[in-house]
């Protein structure tokens, strides 16, 4: 793949990442072409968000607007959310119907993206209208291939993208199935705006060792400490990963408490300790699992809080992050209450994840003057192999391994 960018990767390899990647418009444009419009699978929605034939909703692949719809035959389709006529957005809100009409000039499309009608095509009173040789047949919005896996709906613009389960790899697929064990139900959603490049947040998700340094809530209430049993799984491409940990033991807490680090704060407390109470619903003792699929999908289990996240670039230094919380359709009332309470742990103002929204902005704000500099990514070595520790940046290096392959740098 030819590299048209005026950028040379450092000789140190994946242990050095150029800061220029976070704030150059030409790189952002090339990412849209090579990554989001290229041979990658991008999360579109949960299958349960389109429960009925005729349902449709808007989403994005990167910053490209997309419609995903369930046809009357039950099949899922996705296509670009941009009218063929004058380029207006078509789908502005979720809906249900046989067609989607453009609010601007009322061109209409079926739920596969094929053009079905043009208002005043023959003019009015024999005057105006489209030329006689204009044909509706054969015109359609740019389609995506769509595949669903364990209730997660992905799309790709490329014919060369491998089947979704192959793209995920066996270890990541198994970890998705671990969580998506049975039919789910929606519990709400929220969107936040990050004043940072999308890759800074992608870095943050794969950086497993910051959690017990940055997030005081995690360590103060012993929900997540690096001394706990856990590890990192990185797939062969580097781009897909899982970070996981199990509940602490007394001996692990003793080792951690002996360390003189900022991330313990005895003065913090909770008046309602029910926020910390939950169930081992998967039977394996894992209380935290963060899973990513390159380029922009996240599935998390934090205690009993379950959610998917979607990273949506909105410019060189702006990113939208969509959260969709869910539970299982057969949850009892008490589990519903547990999940609702634990939703306070994560999200834009979550006890745990609030700091992530701040620090990615700190990185972006520090970029001026750093065009020739590089970040240091050496924790845990120089490779991208899976490790049985979370005191490592192996998954961060994995992201850049996948990124370099896609971008040709």
Given a cut of 50, the residues of the chain with pLDDT beneath it are: 1-2, 250-252
Please tell us whether the domain made up of 182-407 is placed in CATH 3.90.380.10.
Answer: yes
Tens digit of each residue's pLDDT (9 = 90 or more) over 289-323: 999 999 999 999 999 999 999 999 999 999 999 99
Tens digit of each residue's pLDDT (9 = 90 or more) over 257-293: 555 555 555 666 777 777 778 899 999 999 999 999 9
Enter the tokens of residue 194: 């990050």
Q: What pLDDT score was predicted for residue 133?
A: 95
Q: What pLDDT score was predicted for residue 270?
A: 74
The pTM of the full predicted model, rounded to 2 decimals, is 0.92
Enter the tokens of residue 130: 């489209």
Per the rule left: phi > 0, alpha: psi between -120 and 50, beta: everything else, 188 is left
Per-residue DSSP letters for 354-398?
HHHHHHHHHHHHT-TT-TT-EEE--TT-SS---BS-SS--HHHHH
Q: What pLDDT score was predicted for residue 2?
A: 47
Place of tokens 């209430």: 221
Q: Give me the helices (H) in 262-332, please.
A: none
286-301 as b/e, with b when 16 or more CB fall inside 10 Å?
Answer: bbbbbbbbbbbbbbbb
What CATH number should be reported for the domain whose range is 42-148? 2.102.10.10
- The sheet that has 42-46: what strands, in order across it? 42-46, 152-156, 143-149, 76-80, 64-70, 55-61, 95-96
Q: What pLDDT score was predicted for residue 259?
A: 53
User: 194 Cβ partners below 8 Å, 6+ apart?
Assistant: 200, 201, 318, 319, 320, 321, 357, 360, 361
**d(C-alpha 341, C-alpha 115), whole Å:** 46
Element (H, E) at 66: strand 64-70
Element (H, E) at 335: helix 333-342
Domain range list for the chain: 42-148, 182-407
Enter the tokens of residue 31: 């990412």
């Amino acid at each position: 793949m030819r590299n048209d960018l005026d950028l040379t990767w450092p000789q140190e390899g994946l242990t050095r990442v150029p800061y220029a990647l976070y704030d150059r418009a030409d790189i952002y444009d090339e990412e849209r072409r090579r990554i989001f419009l290229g041979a990658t699978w991008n999360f579109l929605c949960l299958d349960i968000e389109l429960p009925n034939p005729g349902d449709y909703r808007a989403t994005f692949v990167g910053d490209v607007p997309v419609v995903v719809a369930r046809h009357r035959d039950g099949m899922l389709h996705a296509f670009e959310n941009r009218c063929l006529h004058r380029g207006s957005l078509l789908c502005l809100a979720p809906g249900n119907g046989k067609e989607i009409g453009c609010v601007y000039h009322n061109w209409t499309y079926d739920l596969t993206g094929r053009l079905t009608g043009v208002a005043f095509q023959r003019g009015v009173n024999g005057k105006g209208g489209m030329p006689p040789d204009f044909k509706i047949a054969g015109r359609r919005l740019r389609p995506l291939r769509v595949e669903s896996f364990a209730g997660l709906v992905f799309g790709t613009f490329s014919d060369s993208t491998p089947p979704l389960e192959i793209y995920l790899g066996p270890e990541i697929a198994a970890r998705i199935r671990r969580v998506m064990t049975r039919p789910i139900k929606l519990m709400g959603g929220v969107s936040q705006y990050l004043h940072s490049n999308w890759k800074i947040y992608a870095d943050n998700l794969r950086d497993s060792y910051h959690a017990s340094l940055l997030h005081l809530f995690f360590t103060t209430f012993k929900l997540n400490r690096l001394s706990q049993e856990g590890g990192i799984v990185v797939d062969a491409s580097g781009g897909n990963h899982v970070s996981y940990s199990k509940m602490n033991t007394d001996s692990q807490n003793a080792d951690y408490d002996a360390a003189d680090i900022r991330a313990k704060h005895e003065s913090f407390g909770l008046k309602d300790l029910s926020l910390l109470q939950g169930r081992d619903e998967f039977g394996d003792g894992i209380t935290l699992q963060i899973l990513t699929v390159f380029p922009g999908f996240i599935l998390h289990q934090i205690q009993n809080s379950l959610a998917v996240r979607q990273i949506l670039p909105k410019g060189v230094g702006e990113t939208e992050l969509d959260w969709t919380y869910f539970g299982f359709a057969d949850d009892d009332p008490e589990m519903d209450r547990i999940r609702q309470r634990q939703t306070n742990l994560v999200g834009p103002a979550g006890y745990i994840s609030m700091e992530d929204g701040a620090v990615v902005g700190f990185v972006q704000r520090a970029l001026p003057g750093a065009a020739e500099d590089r970040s240091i990514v050496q924790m845990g070595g120089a490779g991208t192999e899976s490790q049985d520790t979370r005191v490592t940046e192996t998954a961060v290096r994995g992201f850049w391994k996948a990124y370099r392959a896609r971008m040709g740098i």
